[in-house]
Amino acid sequence: MKRSDRIKYHHAVAAFAVCTCVCLHSAQAQIIPSFTQGMMTAAERSHYERTSTFNEVIEVLDALDSQTDLMYRETLLMTREGRDVPIVVLANPPVSSPAQAEASGKPVIAIQANIHGGEVEGKEASLIVMRDILFGDKQHLLGNQILVFVPIYNADGNDAMRENSRPNQELSPVMTGVRTAHGYDLNRDGMIVEADETKALFRNVIQRWDPDLLVDLHTTNGTWHGNSLTYAPSYATAGDASTSNYTSEVMLPALKQSVNEKFNLDIDWYGGYDYRSWPPTELRTYHHAPRYLTNYMGLRNRMAILSETFSHDRFYKRVHAANVFIEEILEYTHQHGRTIQQINHEADRRVAATAIGQQNGVQFSMVPREEPLDLLTYRYIPYQKPDGSTDFVRSAELVTIAGVLNYNRFEARQTALVPNAYIFSAAFTGLAEKLQEHGIWVETLEADAAFPGQQFMVHEVDERNTLQNGHTNSLLSGEFIDITKTFSRGDYVVSMDSPLANLIFYLLEPESDDGLAYWNLFDAFLAEALSVSESVEYPIFKVRCVCGIGMPRVRVVVTKGRT
């Protein structure tokens, strides 16, 4: 596009935005060149009365793509209902493969929206950000980084639109999609990896493009914060803490300040509080588990940010807040992307070199950060109900409550030893395949051999009382014993001198609070054995030394890099 055309386009977008709350007269419409009409989102065209269908997202991407050579598109997956979900890569100069991205030396930043089909703000904001970068005043953001967008991740959920599917949004917009993808909550699938969408995301984005930072865009049903948006890092649990610490202690405070200074919007830590105990004294975040994709990234030595706009805000404000936050993140990574990249790569090297022999966490407790929080919230007013009990109603008054304990940190309450390797029987091919879906190298023994190590003896399988994605999750109880155990040629080995050692550990430890045992992968095996014995060997053995044993790879799986 010529510079003069871009100036006309930018002026046209500004003129269109001015008209979003009033009628768009035909004379004003003629200001906008015909090709730019297709670049407007359904939300913008409807004055934020409705959100985009999948086809309308594709129409916007087609319109953008037709006017630039800086966009490259791939397929994330073909959904069960036949939707070709796009991955959009923006770069200058353009790139069309992870190998080109690797050769450029630039960090890769991934922006993901619409993981829950009814949370539509990030979808609209992502399209606006792409337009601003390609044709507006944000073109400089492609100078130092490569951007990978998945603007409509849960495409089938998005298009299962119905009235009042998000009633807490006060019918703004009236029609939205559903939370799940064919029954799967995609943001609870990060460890067991069962949904088609999760498998595709891991294969085609997280492993293929290896983003240095993942931004996951949501809208919360939570309490009535006064903030326009709240955030969280990838929580440090069993992962190397450096990536989470940089995100929480350096990047997010800088973003909070820039968003406030430039746009007069308040953003702060994610969490909920009990307004029935007014004034609130604690803010508590969500669960630390890596089933949530932002937390999962920390186990891969990569950074992640959770973004949550608020359902009690009107639709246009939610989109605006998400748009501002994305663009400020990209302004930050434009300036500091090489630092982010360096911290990640140092974590790769450190984990591969030092994880073995250390104690690492398998279960965690939420604890407060050292600094309390000044909580911006709407004031709640108590009133007496006819039955004599007390309830609360939200007022329109914003107040700041100082000294609120900020429970946005986690500490291990139970640990286990990181072994040299894990070994399991060749009969557990499903386990090997599950690890490979995470991009973990799985090898086989070339000869029978005996190994010293730890065997976990399962005494009981404790089933949880809630259902997640069709699973009644299990926590195993038992004890480790030190033994030497013989394994056969062809049995599977997973070595721990890997950048993904922390992910492997969390997946395979028997007492992990979000591992494969928790997700019932061994329930049938354990139930049968425990029906005839008081204890049973956990089917994965922890090896203390694999010296001198040849273990040729049977399959090469990406563990890092963009290959």
d(CA 87, CA 65): 13
Maximum CA pair distance of the chain?
83
Q: In 278-423, which ranges are continuous DSSP H helix?
A: 293-299, 315-354
Neighbours of 70 (CB within 10 A): 19
pLDDT values of the chain reduced to their tens digit, one per residue, 563 residues: 433 444 334 444 444 443 433 333 333 333 334 347 899 999 999 999 999 999 999 999 999 999 999 999 999 999 999 999 999 999 999 999 999 999 999 999 999 999 999 999 999 999 999 999 999 999 999 999 999 999 999 999 999 999 878 877 777 899 999 999 999 999 999 999 999 999 999 999 999 999 999 999 999 987 888 999 999 999 999 999 999 999 999 999 999 999 999 999 999 999 999 988 889 999 999 999 999 999 999 999 999 999 999 988 999 999 999 999 999 999 999 999 999 999 999 999 999 999 999 999 999 999 999 999 999 999 999 899 999 999 888 898 999 999 999 999 999 999 999 999 999 999 999 999 999 999 999 999 999 999 999 999 999 999 988 999 999 999 999 999 999 999 999 999 999 999 999 999 999 999 999 999 999 999 999 999 999 999 999 999 999 975 544 444 333 333 333 33
> Which alpha helices (H) appear in 469-535, and where do they start and end?
501-508, 523-530
The CA distances from residue 243 to 99, 215, 339, 395, 428, in Å, are 24, 14, 11, 39, 33
Please state the separation of Cα 307 from the chain's center in Å: 9
For residue 168, what pLDDT is reported?
A: 78
The residues, ordered by sequence, that sit 6+ positions from 539 with a Cβ below 8 Å of its Cβ are 424, 425, 428, 431, 522, 525
How high is the pLDDT of residue 276?
A: 85
Residue 495: which residues within 8 A CB-CB, separation 6 or more?
420, 421, 441, 443, 546, 551
DSSP three-state, residue 253: helix
Contact predicate 271/180, CB 8 Å: no
- Per-residue pLDDT, 546: 57
Q: Where in the chain is the domain with CATH 3.40.630.10?
A: 38-354
What is the distance between the alpha carbons of residues 193 and 475, in angstroms, rounded to a whole number? 19
pLDDT of 23:
35
Place of tokens 């965690």: 364
Q: Are 99 and 563 in contact (CB under 8 A)?
A: yes
- CATH code for the structural domain at 38-354: 3.40.630.10
Rounded Cα distance, 242 and 239, in Å: 9
Q: What share of the chain is helix, strand, coil (3-state, %, to 5)?
A: 35, 30, 40
Q: How far apart are CA 326 and CA 228, in angstroms?
A: 13
Instruction: State the amino acid at position 204 in one-letter form.
Output: N
Helices (H), 160-301: 196-201, 241-246, 252-263, 293-299
